[in-house]
Structure formats: structure tokens, C-alpha cells
Structure 1
Amino acid sequence: MTDYQIRKAINGGELIRLKRGWIAAPDAEEALKYAARNALTITCVSQATRLGLWVREPDPRHFAVPRPGREVRAEGNRVHYCRAVEARPKFALEDTVANVLATVAHCQPKEEAIAVWDSALNKRLVVRGYLESLPLSKRAQQVLAGTSQFADSGLETYFRVRMRWLRVPIRTQTWLIGKRVDFLMGERLVVQIDGSTHVGPQRDADNAHDAALASAGYTVLRFGYTQIIHEWPAVQEAVMRAINAGCHNRR
């Protein structure tokens, strides 16, 4: 657009001027407009959500300060000053995937951070080898060490992370009787984690597979969102009862 066209669009209400060098449509995303006005970059769980990654509960908006030494008023937002692990393009309003993950590692509880990293690996937005090549902090390295590219949801991440203390082999996304199961504990204990897709035909297919597994001598435990997020002690108790009964061992 020419300068004349831009001025005409602004005068006609088709565009708004955010600051020198920045214009936007009136209905543009508020986070993008705020970032442009304040020379910030959307990062952490805010950008993770925009990328379609697993985030348990949206936080206040998270922004990175791309230029060291600047002080920015939070105004109800969360502002991050941590060092970027890869260079941000000049004037970028959205952070890179690697920088998002590195920021999440420092901002979120470890379990939540691993879930976001798992999601990025599962969606193939980044590969593990590249992350290993970056100058990650010790905290981010610990998060990376706990990740898996096979978690289809944060619920699976939570289960895997929370049950690591058991001295029972846990395999993820294992093929049994024609379909993948979320977790195989030992040789015979199957744990399935249900997300929002466990309805209608999908639920019927899952129930049929559960029946086939049971007929083949497997014990199947199935848990949903509410149980994993809000009733974890009951979930852990159910798993422990099955293990104490020897359900994970080949009969």
C-alpha cells in the first residue's frame, strides 16, 4: 500500500495506527496489537496456545522483552526477561517455538512445562535433536530430559511423569491387538487416557478394543480428564491396586 492509501484507510476506519511504523486492522488480535505498541514478543504459554500446543489453563498474556535492559510495565500481563535460546527476528511479534519452550520451562511448573514440550514434539513443530543443540538452561535441559514425542495429550504426559517412580516398565503407544494403547505397564496392565474424542463411534470402538484386550488376558484401566486433573490420588490408588494384585505380570 502507498502512504496515501494507508492514510485514507486510517481516516476511513479500515486501519488503525498503533505507533510509528505499525498499522493494524481494527479487529486484529489484541495480543498482537499490544505487542506491536510496546515492542514486545508474544511468548510462553500465550504463544504455545496460539500454536495449538497443550496448555492446561490459559494464563494472563505472556510477552518477552526482546531488547535487554528495557523495563516494561506489566499492566496485568506477564513479562519475561529471560535470554532467548535462538535469535528473534527484528520486530517479531510472535516468538519462535524454541524460545517459547525455553520460556515455558522457567515459567511453568515442571509437569506443565513437560506437557507443553511433549505437545510441540508430538506435533513435529520441533525435533529433539535441534533442542539438544541449543544453549538451554539447566532447568530447560531437565524438562527436555523428561519429554516424549508420543504423548497425544497433556493428560498422557501427566500420567507418565507422575508414575515414573514405579519400578515397573511403562511403554507408551504400544500396538496390541490391532490398535495402539496409551500405556502398557509391565506385560499385561493397559492404561488408557480418554480425552475429548472419547464419545460416539470413537467410544464404541475403544470399548470393543477393551473387550478384545480383556479376552486376551490384559487388565484395562481407563481414566478421563476429570480423574487425571482433579482426582489423581484415586487414579494412582487404582493403578497401585492392580499392580499389587499382579495384573501387570504375565499369567
Structure 2
Amino acid sequence: MAALRARGGVALRRDLLKAGVGAWQLRTAARRDRVVVPYRGVLALADAPREFGAAYKHGGVLTCISAAPHYGLWQLNPANELHLVCGNGIPRDGVVLHRSASLPPMPGRPVAALADVLVHALRCRPTEESLVMVQCAVIRGDTTVDFLRKRLPGNRNGRARDVLDFVCPKADSLLEPLAAMHFKQAGIAFVQHVELPGVGEVDFVVERFLIVELDGKTHFEPRAIKRDRRRNNTSVAGGFTVLRYFYEDVVHHPEAMVAEVQAAIRAHRSGLRLNK
């Protein structure tokens, strides 16, 4: 039991034997329902991650979005398929195979090294999904954009390198890099993390007149609501227009968010022309 727990709850039978667990102990534990045998040659605790057993079954290690939860990385969507690095590259039903890993896997777990996980995600997943994973790792100090960029050489990795351009050095949530990405793709000019007198730091200032703020869970606390409304008032009194967006807007309805920002820009420019 201790040997299994040290390996994340799942291990190959041969690895347990090498670690000094006796064959009779394995048989006894299985008979007493203390461990299960999900696949031939694989033993697991009842509450162990199922994907670990599947990785051992296929002779591979988890990577890409299948490995994201085991590194505590941000995710927009759970993995519907198993993403693995396997030695021989033979196709397997229900498995997305990735190129060979460049670094040793996580010790004691069938999980690829973090750098390989991120590189595979950048090559495999839509921009939004890979961006939030990389953003999380970067702000935690687990890796750097330059480190990942060096592992993505050549023309075939051009799209993956482009995703790295959207990583925000100071972003503390997945909302900021996603919003910045959508604004850049729409050709909206902005500056991030701007300190305004009497207001404090705001998420975005667009064309010097429009403040765009992104509200996560903490903004719904009573004190935060009062603070944000006072900041809005101060901003408007200072000549700014303010738009606020939530998780659903940025993640699920980015087109509507972008269209609203563009409409505000057009209205502002129209007003300037009329004043002239």
C-alpha cells in the first residue's frame, strides 16, 4: 500500500517487485480488495487516477491536456481523449499519440516532464487551451517563454511559437491572456496593467479613453463590488469609459466582447469628429 501511494496510487507489478514488495503481498492485497488490477500487470488503489492505469496499459506517459491536472495547470476544458507519449508510436484506440519526450518523466508517475507537456499542448491544442496552460506555468515560475520557444524550432512549430506571444508576464488569471489575445487578433490597440491616479491599476486601457476590466470570482465579494463601483465612478469622472467582463464573456463569448469594445471605439471616434 505504501509503495503504491508513493507512486500516485498506480504501478506496474514488476516495478513493485523491484521495489521490494513480495509477490505474496501483492496476491494478498488483491484478494482482500485493498488494491485492484485494472489491467494485466498493473495494480492500483481504488481511488487512484484511472488515467495512470491506462497510461501503464499502453506503455506510455500522460502528456498535453491529460497531464495538465497533475501539474495543477489551468484548463478551459477537460480532456476527452487520452494524450500519451508512447515508445513505439503504434496507433491505439482512444489515444492521441505525441512525439517522443525530450526530458525524463515525473518521478514515480506516468506523467511527462512539464516542458514536454507544454510543448505538446502548444503543437496539439487550440490556441486558447494551450495559452492558459503555458500562462499558468510561467506566472508560477515553473518555466519561461524563452525556454519553451527554444524547444519549438523550425517552420512546423510556427503556430506554436505564435501562441507564446500572447503570454502576459503579470497576468494572475487565465482571463487576461485570453482577452489580450482576442484584442490583438481583432487589431485593437491597448496597454495592459496601467496605473491611473485615484483609480489604481486597471487591466486594459484601449486607445487612451476606454478602460476594460476583467472580473474573476473575487470581484463578487461585497467589499470588492463596492471597491469596483467606486473605481468606475473615479474613472468616468476622469474622462474614461469603462467596460467590465466576466469569465463567461471572455471564455465562452469572446466575439461579443470584442464587438462591444469595437463599438465603443467607433462611438468615441464619431463623437470626436462631431466635436470638431
- TM-score, normalising length: structure 2: 0.75
Q: Secondary structure at the match of 2:75?
A: coil
Q: For the structure 1 residues 90 and 73, does the alpha-carbon distance in structure 2 shift closer, same or farther, using more than 3 Å as the test?
A: farther
Tell me which of 43, 53, 64 is aligned to 1:44.
64
Residue 111 in structure 1 maps to residue 111 in structure 2: no
Per-residue displacement from partner, 1:65-102 (whole Å, max 9, x unpaired)?
Answer: 3313433232xxx4223243434468751122211111
Q: CA separation in 2, counterparts of 1:195 and 1:186?
A: 24
The alignment status of 1:129 with 2:143, answered yes or no, reads no
CA RMSD of aligned residues (A): 2.9
Identity %: 25
Task: For 2:174 and 2:42, locate their aligned partners in 1 and report how far apart those are by CA, in whole Å.
Answer: 37
What stretches of structure 1 of length at least 5 have no aligned partner?
none
Instruction: Confirm or deny: 8 A CA contact 1:194 1:222 kept in the other structure.
Output: yes
CA distance in 1, matches of 2:50, 2:179: 35
Q: 1-side partners of 2:72 and 2:143: how far apart?
A: 13
For residue 162 of structure 1, the aligned residue among 182, 195, 199 is 182
Q: Is the 8 A contact 2:85 2:101 kept in 1?
A: no
Supply the AA of the counterpart residue of 1:150.
K
Q: Report if aligned partners of 1:18, 1:24 keep a CA contact under 8 Å in 2.
A: yes
For the residue of structure 2 that corresponds to 1:190, the secondary structure is: strand
Q: Deviations over 1:145-199 (max 9, x none)?
A: 3322333333322221111156654222233346332112233321011223321
| Contact 2:58-2:86 within 8 A present in 1 as well | no
Partner of residue 215, structure 2: 194
Cα–Cα, structure 1 residues 217 and 60, in superposed 2: closer, same or farther, change >3 Å? same
Q: Residue 89 of structure 2 contacts residue 97 of structure 2 at CA under 8 Å; is this kept in 1?
A: no
Structure 1 or 2, whichever has the larger Rg, is: 2
The 1:167/1:104 distance shift into structure 2, 3 A limit, reads closer
Report what 1:228 is aligned to. Answer: 250
Distance 1:122 1:90 in 2: 23
Which structure 2 residues correspond to residues 1-251 of structure 1 after superposition, within 5 A?
2-3=21-22, 4-17=24-37, 22-74=42-94, 78-88=95-105, 92-136=109-153, 137-165=157-185, 169-176=189-196, 177=198, 179-200=200-221, 201-244=223-266, 245-246=268-269
Pick closer, same or farther for the CA change 1:216–1:90 going to 2, 3 Å. Answer: closer
- Asked if the contact 2:166/2:180 (under 8 Å) is kept, the reply is no
2-structure distance, mates of 1:38, 1:142: 32
- Decide whether the 8 Å contact of 1:31 with 1:61 is kept in 2: no
Task: State TM-score, norm by structure 1.
Answer: 0.82
* CA distance 1:83–1:2, shift in 2 (3 Å): closer
Deviates more, 1:165-174 or 1:142-151: 165-174
SS of structure 2 residue aligned to 1:60: coil
Q: 1:203 to 1:40 in 2, by over 3 A?
A: farther
Tell me if structure 2 keeps the 8 A contact 1:119–1:149.
no
Unaligned residue ranges in structure 2 (runs of 5+) = 1-19
Residues 48-67 of structure 1: per-residue CA shift (max 9 Å, x gap): 23433222221313321331
Change (3 A) 1:128 1:229: closer
Conserved in 2, the CA contact under 8 Å of 1:35 and 1:42? yes
